[in-house]
Structure 1
Amino acid sequence: MKPRWEADADLVVVGTGVAGLTAALDAQALGLRVLVVTKAELGDGNTRWAQGGVAVVLPGEHEEGDTVDRHVADTLTAGAGLCDAAAVSAIVSGGPAAVTRLRRWGAVFDQGSDGKLARTREGGHTAFRVVHAGGDATGAEVERALLAQARDGRIAMLDNHVAVEALRTPSGAVGGLLVLDGNGVPGVLRAPAVLLATGGLGQLYQATSNPEVATADGIALALRAGAVVADLEFVQFHPTVLYTGSGARGRCPLVTEAVRGEGAVLLDANGSRVMLGVHPLADLAPRDVVSAAITRRMNETGTDHVFLDATHLDGDAFRLRFPTVYSACAAIGVDPAVDPIPVAPAAHFSCGGVVATVDGRTAVNGLYAAGEVARSGLHGANRLASNSLLEGLVVGSRAVKAIAADRAAGRLGDPRKAELVGSLAAAVTERDVLQRTMSRHAAIGRNVEGLAAAAAVLEKSTVVRPLGTRESVEDAALTMAAEILLAVAAERTESRGCHVRTDYQGRNDAVWQRSIPVRLDAAGRPFLFERALLGGVA
């Protein structure tokens, strides 16, 4: 594939979510020539769909008795023993300054009657510390503010271009990207630093809260560049995605956890409470606990959904506090003021990804990662609610400081010497087959027989195709992510956080309180290997 055009920059940012846009703004402020690339339209990433808010303990605007240390402790508890404690402390501690700056950039959060920021509580939190905007439209407001700031600053943005492959220098450093436009025309972006902020992998499954662009592109690109990934078996299923029928596919409307934070409770088809006696926090238990409990109750009752009863809130109160959820419910003929809301778990957030430090550095010189695509150590085996926007704001900013420092110290490669390495072809499974297989065998409840059956289906149905279109790039990335997820899920013979094994229902800290790192071998196939210190990447 011969590129038809070239451009150059000091930094290429892939993705226009909170991590990518934060990084781009900081890079420009530091005087770096930055180019932002997105495969869709600007603003089509995951950030805009984040309803709940930003978990943060702000000075002078927090619940009495709440502290950053309590937020850290809640995060570690939710992560079920696999968080990096130092990473959690660094990211959570950076939250107040990051949110304060976001407000300076124009983001408007909801205020309470006392004039201070309104706060809610979500699953796994022991305090009311989640600030929100537009009721349940926090992600949309954060994205609006960041895009407005970027456009005002005239940051160069290239939309409708998918990143295909990293350029590599003779020493192995990343020196840019090969991209394709919407017509499959290839071009080269040369830069000594590339920051992946491409989001997650929700499209591995039939039903997800994620948009169509969440196809694991950054994970596959990073692996082919020589990076390490970990914790892909930990896919968080949001407990309450609006149930729109048994044939629902693709992105389904989210019913934010904040609805339960305002007192709503989960009921089964018989009207019995789902979470009573399951966990001390009941309906506000961590997401993995709630999703697993709902799945068990659906199996026991022979149903494919449960109900979220928020009828204690009158119609106007619900509509004003949760306008996005209200509109989605109205579209299927449900009035939350009088009707319990039909909900079911759906794929929501990838807790794993490209192994990176809290400064975004990966094992590959010149390649950085931030946000959901990265395994920073913040989430462990299960993400604490509303920590994702926080992570994007903090790590996006830290990554740019690391890039500037690496550039000043002469650690980065020479993009003029960077070239494509290897064949631009990869194994691809037809997406419908992949999604049905993963939803059946690798969702909330897994066992050795199902995981083996899924792996056999993928092996039988994959074909090698050139990466000449956006669709082929996405399908190849999903296929690689699925193959790795199945392998590590089979390897982890325990239940922990989002990873629930029906044949190994207990947690085994003696063996499995560690991550399973994966990289590609010389033939481009994933293999599992052990490493003493996952966080110690250069």
Structure 2
Amino acid sequence: RAETEAGGTQFALTLEGAHKRRRILHAGDETGAEIEKTLGRRVVAEKKVQIDQQVMGFDLLIRNGRCFGATAYDQKSGEIVTYNAKVVLLATGGVCQVYLYTTNPAFAVGDGVAMAYRAGAAVTDMEFIQFHPTALVQFKQFEDIVALPQFLISEAVRGEGGVLLNNRGERFMEKYHTHMELAPRDIVARAIFNEMKETNDDHVFLSLKEINPDKIKHRFPMIYRTCLERCLDITKDNIPVAPAAHYFMGGIKTDLKAMTNIPGLLAAGECASTGVHGANRLASNSLLEGLVFGYRAALTADREIRNFKPEADPKTPNINYAKPRLSQIEISRLKLVIKTAMWHGVGIIRSASSLQEAQHKLARVEKQLPDKTIAPEELELKNMLLVAQLTTRGALDRQESRGGHFRADFPARDDQHWKKHLVYQLMDKA
């Protein structure tokens, strides 16, 4: 349902940050949701597809260096189930719930990345986290903010003429970049961070007053409705915004056909690192990546299945559900420690001291976790911790600034020493 210009003969293209011309197809301000609905309907209509809901991936099954399935926890039955497969495709989304403030849904803690890493898959570019400049600031109790994803105010709003103002009512982006509000996301996010620091406040404002009110309601219906529910009329009122962790450029290392270094294991979407986004994804390109690499992964999986030569039936582990040894309150507390450490230490602006402090806090969390657990609640916490540790390690190792990774102690880009990917792999599971 891509929008067209009046008359319906041409697509209505929009402009977003760091793009130099209008090239982005959209469906109002819910393009991703529209793609998701369309694909969902197709899957439901395809009778050959079995959909198991409320099932949490546990671990990948590896034998003789090949992936042949996965174990999972069925939340409805309370049982551990085993899926044997000729090919496994991980498409578990992002990791930004490891941060205190994020636009990501609650499940985006990096389960797929952690599963793959534990199985011996290479992960790369873990340090490259993109912070979206304009998430709606929710004036609620601290506990509520931690539990809820921040509502995203699309970059397209600035593409249509929205401007950023500090708390003195001054437009400030001209101090930071010639493209002002349409500079790359990392630059806009750091600029907002600096302005908030200067005014000792937790937000700046996004003003849409130069945009025709009817255009706002037509072009951004979801943003208009959502803000109105929070007593903000964006045709008249400034929107309080602040940066939030939004997108993960790193992940499970794959080739351009979605293959990992483990035969039988594929990855696609935000959990995969294909390299197409470099160190700083352009707005809206993740939707394209999902479509392109989802299709490529399907082609690769089809080829792998056709060429599959079965060995003797692999032995599957006999795993029973165990109750968590930590209380739910303790699990929630430790998650909050991780998220706070990541936000303050591995956030928009980093340094050796902040990263080392984050490492120490994460290490203290690790000491409080059971060595081995098959309780889903604890496993999610361990996955979250592992992703946080890998992200912190990558940010500490990369002694330069590039894209979404900014080091205050190494503020310049250094192509001579750091024009390369950092790859991490668990070589000895013992």
Task: Check whether TM > 0.5.
Answer: yes
Asked whether 1:152 is paired with 2:48, we answer no
Q: Is the 8 A contact 2:80 2:320 kept in 1?
A: no
Cα displacement string for residues 384-407 of structure 1 (whole angstroms, at most 9, x for unaligned residues): 110011001111111111122223
Q: Name which of structure 1's ranges 351-360 and 395-404 shifts more when overlaid on structure 2.
A: 395-404
- Once the two structures are overlaid, the 10-residue window that deviates more, 479-488 or 305-314, is 305-314
* Counterpart secondary structure, 2:425: strand
* Equivalent residues of 2:129, 2:404 under 8 A apart: yes
Higher mean displacement: 357-366 or 321-330:
321-330
Task: Please name the residue that 2:280 is paired with.
Answer: 382
TM-score (norm. length: structure 1)? 0.74
Q: Does the CA contact (< 8 Å) of 1:311 and 1:337 recur in 2?
A: yes
- TM-score, length basis structure 2: 0.92
What's 2:198 paired with? 300
1:137 is aligned to 30
Which of 62, 80, 90 is residue 168 of structure 1 equivalent to?
62
Say yes or no: does 1:207 pair with 2:207.
no
- Cα RMSD between the aligned structures? 2.2
**2:328 pairs with 1:435:** no
Deviation by residue 1:341-372 (Cα, 9 ceiling, x = unmatched) = 11000000000000001211000000000000
Letter in 2 for 1:161: V
SS at match of 2:340: helix
Q: Match for residue 228 of structure 1?
A: 122
- Structure 1 residue aligned with 2:370, among 464, 482, 505? 464
Separation (CA, whole Å) in 2 of partners of 1:413 and 1:193: 12
Which of 450, 464, 467 aligns to 2:354? It is: 450
CA contact (8 A) 1:164 1:467 kept: no
**Equivalent position amino acid for 2:364 in 1:** K
For residue 488 of structure 1, report the CA deviation from its aligned partner.
1.2
Gaps of 5+ in 1: 1-107, 525-538
- Paired residue secondary structure (1:450): helix
CA distance change for structure 1 residues 504 and 158 in 2, over 3 Å: closer, same or farther? same
Alignment of 1:483 with 2:376, yes or no, is no
**Equivalent in the alignment of 2:237:** 339
| Distance in 1 separating the partners of 2:96 and 2:373 | 21
**Shift in Å, 1:502:** 1.2
**Structure 1 counterpart SS, 2:252:** strand
1:191–1:415 contact (8 Å) kept in structure 2: no
Deviations for 1:455-476, whole angstroms, at most 9, x for unmatched residues? 1111112212544343223211
Cα pair 2:61 2:69 within 8 Å, conserved = yes
Shift of 1:275: 1.1
- Call closer, same or farther: CA 1:142–1:506 in 2, change over 3 Å: same
> Could you tell me how far apart the structure 1 residues matched to 2:186 and 2:157 are?
17
**What is the CA distance between 1:420 and its match in structure 2?**
4.5
Distance in 2 (CA, whole Å) between partners of 1:319 and 1:391 is 29
CA–CA distance in structure 1, aligned partners of residues 137 and 380 of structure 2: 26
The aligned amino acid for 1:266 is L
Residue 225 of structure 2: aligned partner: 327
Give 1:315 shift: 3.0
Larger CA deviation: 414-423 vs 305-314: 414-423
Would you say 1:498 and 2:404 are equivalent positions? yes
Q: Are 1:371 and 2:277 an aligned pair?
A: no
In structure 1, what residue type is equivalent to 2:46? G
Change (3 A) 1:523 1:405: closer
Count of residues in Structure 1 that have an aligned counterpart in Structure 2: 414
1:414 Cα deviation (Å)?
4.3
Of the structure 1 ranges 515-524 and 359-368, higher mean CA displacement relative to structure 2 is found in 515-524
Structure 2 counterparts to residues 491-530 of structure 1, below 5 A: 491-523=397-429
> Which residue, 175, 191, 197 being the options, matches 2:85?
191
SS in 2 for 1:349: strand
Q: Between the two proteins, what is the percent identity of the paired residues?
A: 37
C-alpha spacing 1:415/1:493, structure 2 compared with 1 (3 Å): farther
Letter in structure 2 aligned against 1:449? S
CA contact (8 A) 2:321 2:375 kept: no
- Where does residue 88 of structure 1 map in the other structure? none
Q: Which runs of 5+ in 2 are unaligned?
A: none
- Contact 2:78 2:321 (C-alpha < 8 Å) held by counterparts: no
Question: Do the aligned partners of 1:370 and 1:395 also contact (CA within 8 Å) in 2?
Answer: yes
